[in-house]
Structure 1
Amino acid sequence: MPSDKTVVQPSSGPLPASSVGAALAAGLSVARSAHAAGSDVIRIGMVGCGNRGTGACREALLAAEPVRLVAVGDLFPERLEISLKNLTKYADLAPKIDVPAERRFAGFDAYRHVIDAGVDLVLLTTPPHFRPLHYAAAIQAGKHAFLEKPCCIDAPGYRMLAAANEEARRKKLSVVVGLQRRHQRNYLDGIQKIRDGAIGDVRFIRTYYNVQGGGRAGWRRPEGMNELEYQLRHWGVFLWLCGDHLVEQSTHEIDVANWVMDAHPVRASGLGGREKRFGPGNGDIWDHHAIEFEYEGGVRYFCQARQMSGTWDHVSETVHGSRGVLTLGTGAWGFGKLTPRELRDRKRVAENPYQREHENLLASIRGTGPYRLDAEYGATSSMTAVMGRMATYSGQLVTWDEAVQSELRLGPTRYAWDAEPPTRADATGAYPAAVPGETRAW
């Protein structure tokens, strides 16, 4: 289990009550910080210090002046040190980082301590399972927030997000979600063309998030590491932590379809399975999905999502209209083969949506740009992906109302290092996975 050396190791706490509204209402009244005045420093806290959290923090620190990172939290102490080391090696970032030992927190309660460490803005970049809980706590405390996608991995989490969003709107808190295509010029221009009637009425939509992946043979639990810690460290292959790659990754494409339609689907059906992602080290998620979503009025959206080595790589979103066809973007970042690193190297930062989303968030906080509460559409698109997974895992037709009313919660009954994990491997090291026609998926 993780060491508590060199960092504060908070005690683990109980799971939130099922009544999310009551939990929010019971929160402390926290005075808003004076960050809205243009020259005041925006104090940032980071919860989740992995690669994505570190990248998001870098972008936030580059987005506007004056900003300062003042607190960090993660389940694992070593992640704190690695993240801070990687951030401080940049000469332009080091002066903006002020995180002494007393503001470095590890453990399941780290998020609470970061939120209470005098921050104005909290970056929530842990594995997705924890997002609703952390977001609700941040909003309850009166903090602005950046949420990495997806925003939820089950219906109880979606309902927690919805309650927190209502609170955020009442408090005029600014929130941006890591669905960066919403900040990307080619997507913004393409959506406007559709709104202007360039391709006529939308008939159907196709998206693909087909990439390499799957198959991690031999990735077994090390001697001395308990099962819960193993799953938390390798969260990307466990359903309760990532929601399946359909939710964790393809929410990007699903969000684009919802953006085009300015709505969520009303039902979904689909299929999928595990062709290469099985055996020791591969968790319990699938490696491919194909889903047909239907919107009110009959427009269909066909979604493919695959992580499978040796297969066709293709990521794109194409909208078919009565008078034409428009492809909004291609490639994992929507720029064909350009990556965010290449965008920086080519001095095209203005085109980098990962940077733009943080600039837009800080502008919303300061009042120098439009007010943003992106967690509203972030919650809807994340739940749309969850509905798709419900359809593929169960092999059933699932309606939106059935999906959002589901009481099936993914996760342990309590958060502690000695807690029983939601799933365990069999004698061969393989984890049980969903079986259509048998699995209860909602």
Structure 2
Amino acid sequence: MMQGEKIRTGLIGYGLSGSVFHAPLIRAVPDLELLKVVTGRRRQVTEELPDVLPVEKAEELFDDPGIDLVVVTTPNRLHYVQAKKALEAGKHVVVEKPFTLRVDEAWELTRLAEAKGLFLSVFHNRRWDSGFLTLRRYIGEGRLGEVHTYRARFDRFRPEVRNRWKERDPEGGGTLYDLGSHLIDQALLLFGEPRTVWADVRNQRVGSTTPDWFHLVLQYENGRRVILDSGSMVLEPGPTWEVHGTRGSYIQTGMDSQEESLKRGLRPGDPGWGEEPAEHHAFLTESGEEGLRKERVRSLKGRYETFYRGVRDAIREGRPAPVTPVEATRVIRVIERAIQSSRTGQVLPY
């Protein structure tokens, strides 16, 4: 693609993911041009995106030579089929997380993209959460020493099962694929592949048909434990991150602000974008010659827009994808192992 040419983009799906995250973030990158949205919510698209054409079928993107990039934000069970059709049609592809439901599907898409010389990436946006960027910085600087215990939570209080596919669809619904994808991706980005996986995955709420509670433990060769938790009936959440190393500890509460900012109509670059309130800044405790020192550290700014800037640079200039298909496949491998571990009660090799 020539420098200066816009990357003409089509979006499949205009639910929460498509309307709140992808459409605004695509439009925040001047070199990306959102032209079409596949959705039954034509009026909503017309009102919110008056310069974008709503269409009924995904084939209207696949068959359009004027579309360079297809973004898939449909229910999880459709990711593999729609991404495959887009790649076969010669389109670059972004897939909302989770990449696919099975590892074999993920590898097939990866090989197909490679064979056709096309860009393929997965939207693991929470790599650019404010708190995670801050934590990654302090781990990278060695402020915590060798991390031996990493605990991350993604809790909610939603006691009633909602009538939506994420909470009703037994094929790909539930919080393990939804929220677990975020927690697992962050852990793998920090520490790489584990040695073993153990998990307890349950339907906790009355009437739930999909998992809404999970507890995962990833064990590493050096003895490190990564503990990932999520519940749907948590009134008072614990720390979002609780990380302990040989030299220090990092404790943070609260959720990243960017999702709520997008829902309120804020966009990257607006005043306050990506900033955390002071009460959500982490406590960093370090051990030194003078004893323990505890301080509250200012969070780095969150930057979800980095993903689509990376998409642009990868398609235009051949730079690495902001999230590679191999990285996204590792997440699915952990999810597969977690489901199997929960069913058998066994600790499984990764």
- Compared CA separation, residues 314 and 174, structure 1 to 2 (3 A): farther
Q: 1:85 maps to what in 2? A: 47
Equivalent in 53, 64, 73 of residue 18 of structure 2: 53
Equivalent in 149, 157, 160 of residue 97 of structure 2: 149
Q: TM-score, normalised by structure 2?
A: 0.79
Whole-angstrom CA distance in 2 between matches of 1:70 and 1:352: 27
- Compared CA separation, residues 127 and 331, structure 1 to 2 (3 A): farther
CA distances 1:123-178 after superposition (whole Å, capped 9, x unpaired) = 1100111112222222333322222111123x3xx212112223334545333422
Residue 212 of structure 1: how far off its partner (Å): 1.3
RMSD: 3.0
Contact 1:210/1:307 (8 A) holds in 2? yes
The correspondence of residues 351-362 of structure 1 with structure 2, limited to 5 A, is 351-362=301-312
- Compared CA separation, residues 148 and 332, structure 1 to 2 (3 A): farther
CA distances 1:206-252 after superposition (whole Å, capped 9, x unpaired) = 011111114238x6xxxxxxxxxxxxxx2112353434212211211
The correspondence of residues 235-314 of structure 1 with structure 2, limited to 5 A, is 235-263=165-193, 265-275=194-204, 277-279=205-207, 282=208, 284-308=209-233, 311-314=235-238
Q: 1:318 maps to what in 2? A: 242
Residue 198 of structure 1: how far off its partner (Å): 2.5
Q: Secondary structure at the match of 1:258?
A: helix
Q: Secondary structure at the match of 2:199?
A: strand
Q: 2:86 maps to what in 1? A: 138
Q: Is 1:63 equivalent to 2:25 in the alignment?
A: no
Q: Is 1:198 equivalent to 2:146 in the alignment?
A: no
Q: TM-score, normalised by structure 1?
A: 0.64
Contact 2:258/2:302 (8 A) holds in 1? no
Contact 2:93/2:120 (8 A) holds in 1? yes
Whole-angstrom CA distance in 1 between matches of 2:259 and 2:14: 27
- Compared CA separation, residues 371 and 50, structure 1 to 2 (3 A): closer
Contact 1:209/1:316 (8 A) holds in 2? yes
Whole-angstrom CA distance in 2 between matches of 1:315 and 1:383: 26
Q: 1:423 maps to what in 2? A: none
Equivalent in 7, 10, 13 of residue 42 of structure 1: 7
Tell me the matched-pair count. 320
The correspondence of residues 200-239 of structure 1 with structure 2, limited to 5 A, is 200-216=145-161, 234-239=164-169
Whole-angstrom CA distance in 2 between matches of 1:40 and 1:337: 30
Residue 352 of structure 1: how far off its partner (Å): 4.7
Q: Is 1:111 equivalent to 2:111 in the alignment?
A: no
Residue 371 of structure 1: how far off its partner (Å): 4.5
Q: Secondary structure at the match of 2:342?
A: helix
Structure 1 residue runs of 5 or longer lacking an equivalent are 1-35, 89-93, 220-233, 401-442
Q: Secondary structure at the match of 1:254?
A: helix
Whole-angstrom CA distance in 1 between matches of 2:259 and 2:77: 30
Residue 179 of structure 1: how far off its partner (Å): 1.4
Structure 2 residue runs of 5 or longer lacking an equivalent are 275-300
Q: 1:331 maps to what in 2? A: 254
Whole-angstrom CA distance in 1 between matches of 2:273 and 2:259: 16
Q: Secondary structure at the match of 1:252?
A: helix
Contact 1:181/1:353 (8 A) holds in 2? no
Residue 343 of structure 1: how far off its partner (Å): 9.2
Equivalent in 266, 277, 281 of residue 344 of structure 1: 266
Q: Secondary structure at the match of 1:210?
A: coil
Q: Is 1:72 equivalent to 2:72 in the alignment?
A: no
Q: Secondary structure at the match of 2:170?
A: helix
Whole-angstrom CA distance in 1 between matches of 2:189 and 2:331: 9
Whole-angstrom CA distance in 1 between matches of 2:236 and 2:145: 31
Whole-angstrom CA distance in 2 between matches of 1:180 and 1:84: 26
Whole-angstrom CA distance in 2 between matches of 1:123 and 1:272: 30
CA distances 1:281-326 after superposition (whole Å, capped 9, x unpaired) = x4x1133222222234432111111112x63234623332222223
Whole-angstrom CA distance in 2 between matches of 1:331 and 1:145: 32
